[in-house]
Amino acid sequence: MRSAQIMLVAALAVSFGACGSSTAPRSPLDGAWLANLPGQTLLDLRLTVSGTSVSGTGVLGSLTSTSTTTLTVSGGFVTPDVTLSIAGGAGTMTFVGTLGSSRLVGTLSGAGYTNATVTFAKH
């Protein structure tokens, strides 16, 4: 009985170890990002990194109304530099910035914004 328990524990340890080793490390840019834009507007993005390519979705919403715009995100990431093309109902915006510790800081242009300073916080 004791021998069977040891074999089971060893088999589970090998199985869990194998699962962990095949998982690629996540990029620090992966995840949910939120920014307050000028004009009482929120920009909420969900980003995924694969190599140096960034893709994702987002929502642009107003703090003063319930209307929202669905967004599609594409771009590039070479640590720490980030470039995003954010397309939605109001047109396309371009974000150019730098990734720091749980912060993404840069400028936003297009769809009514001209080099607006933007800070995203990871959430």
Q: In this predicted structure, what is the pLDDT of residue 109?
A: 96
pTM: 0.78
Give the largest Cα separation in the chain, rounded: 72
Q: In this predicted structure, what is the pLDDT of residue 101?
A: 87
For the chain, what are the domain ranges? 31-122
CATH number of 31-122: 2.40.128.120
- Residue type at position 24: A
DSSP assignment of 4-39: HHHHHHHHHHHHHHHHHHTSPPPPTT-EEEEEEETT
Q: In this predicted structure, what is the pLDDT of residue 13?
A: 31
pLDDT tens for each residue of the chain, 123 residues long: 433 333 322 322 332 233 343 466 689 999 999 999 988 899 999 999 999 999 999 999 988 888 899 999 999 999 999 999 999 987 999 999 999 988 999 999 999 899 999 999 999
Spatial CA neighbour of 27 closest among 83, 99, 105, 88: 99
